[in-house]
């Protein structure tokens, strides 16, 4: 574990585990979490003899709670700063939700031009664009995101508890196997980060059009999503993204929720491994 300082003075916390000569897998977490959200993947791939790297996004987790720069451009630049510092090459970049947007922009603008990226994986990811517009009629109305901002500003602790115990893991579905520790861990991660970063991050993940990022990516890219994703609906994300990617493959998991990486790691991890090894 360590930290780097970006060009604009932000301290970014990262984990770097495993053999330094092994192929690196870099994990990019979702909003409003931290690299801890990848525990199930970091340990699994460490056990498969990979080098695993994950950082806390600016304003999240143990990284600096700065006031500015909570947008997809800075997210990608920060990720690149970590990869350059560690001199990662032939890397596989895996992003969940907002982290999927970060991966798409990082690969398109930094990783691919620098020759550092072998493959990419977008899991329940926000691209190409979440918010509803005239060009994106299937998107989520801006009023939904305004509601999230109001809830965060009004009572962030309650809002995060509601998200984790409700739609994120599908725990609001009939007959769901609810895990209180999973809910508590999501809440813990969220409350460790900064309210300003999380508030601004809603705009970043919902209003950033990443159509051109996806079109620019040429490395093999796996798109994974559950068809019961209540946070990032699959019809406006995964099913559109795979059409924009030059070398993309979509795998849909029937009934799986947004947070499937945690509660269905036993299924998702072997699928990730098969793609990485292919």
pLDDT band at 197 (very low <50, low <70, confident <90, very high): very high
Instruction: Find out whether 238 and 125 touch, Cβ atoms under 8 Å.
Output: yes
Q: What is the mean pLDDT of residues 186-200?
A: 98
Catalytic residue positions, numbered = 97, 229, 258
Q: What is the mean pLDDT of residues 137-144?
A: 97
Evaluate if residue 1 carries a pLDDT over 90: no
What pLDDT does 11 receive?
98
- Here the CATH number for the domain that contains residue 15 is 3.40.50.1820
Please identify which residue in the block is written with the tokens 């009934």: 255
> What would the pLDDT profile of 156-168 be if each residue is shown by its tens digit?
999 999 999 999 9
Evaluate if residue 140 carries a pLDDT over 80: yes
Q: What range does the domain containing 67 cover?
A: 2-277
> What would the pLDDT profile of 257-272 be if each residue is shown by its tens digit?
999 999 999 999 999 9
Strand partners, 25: 52, 92
Six-digit token string for 31: 């909003």
Q: How many domains does the chain have?
A: 1
Total-model pTM: 0.98
> What would the pLDDT profile of 161-192 be if each residue is shown by its tens digit?
999 999 999 999 999 999 999 999 999 999 99
d(CA 148, CA 163): 10
DSSP output for 134-189 = TTBTTSB-HHHHHHHHHHHHHHHHHHHHHHHHTTTTTTTSTT----HHHHHHHHHH
Say which residues have a Cβ less than 8 Å from residue 165's Cβ, sequence separation at least 6.
171, 172, 178, 183
pLDDT band at 103 (very low <50, low <70, confident <90, very high): very high
Strand partners, 121: 94, 222
């Amino acid at each position: 574990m360590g930290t780097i300082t970006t060009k604009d003075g932000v301290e970014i916390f990262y984990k770097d585990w495993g053999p330094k000569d092994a192929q690196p897998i870099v994990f990019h977490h979702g909003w409003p979490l931290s690299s801890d959200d990848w525990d199930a993947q970091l340990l699994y791939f460490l056990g498969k003899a990979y080098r695993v790297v994950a950082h806390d996004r600016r304003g999240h987790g143990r990284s600096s709670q700065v006031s500015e720069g909570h947008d997809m451009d800075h997210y990608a630049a920060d990720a690149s700063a970590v990869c350059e510092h560690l001199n990662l090459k032939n890397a596989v970049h895996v992003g969940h939700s907002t982290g999927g947007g970060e991966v798409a922009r990082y690969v398109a603008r930094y990783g691919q031009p620098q020759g550092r990226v072998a493959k990419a994986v977008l899991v329940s990811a926000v691209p190409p664009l979440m918010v509803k517009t005239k060009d994106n009629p299937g998107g989520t109305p801006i009023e939904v995101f305004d509601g999230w901002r109001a809830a965060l500003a009004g009572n962030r602790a309650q809002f995060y508890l509601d998200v984790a115990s409700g739609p994120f893991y599908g725990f609001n579905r009939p007959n769901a196997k609810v895990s209180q520790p999973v809910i508590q861990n999501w809440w813990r991660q969220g409350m460790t980060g900064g309210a300003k970063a999380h508030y601004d991050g809603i705009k970043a993940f919902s209003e950033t059009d990443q159509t051109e990022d996806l079109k620019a990516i040429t490395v093999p890219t796996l798109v994974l999503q559950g068809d019961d994703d209540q946070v990032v609906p699959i019809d406006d994300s995964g099913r559109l993204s795979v059409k924009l990617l030059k070398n993309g493959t979509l795998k849909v998991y029937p009934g799986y929720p947004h947070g499937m990486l945690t509660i269905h790691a036993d299924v998702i991890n072997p699928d990730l491994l098969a793609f990485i090894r292919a």
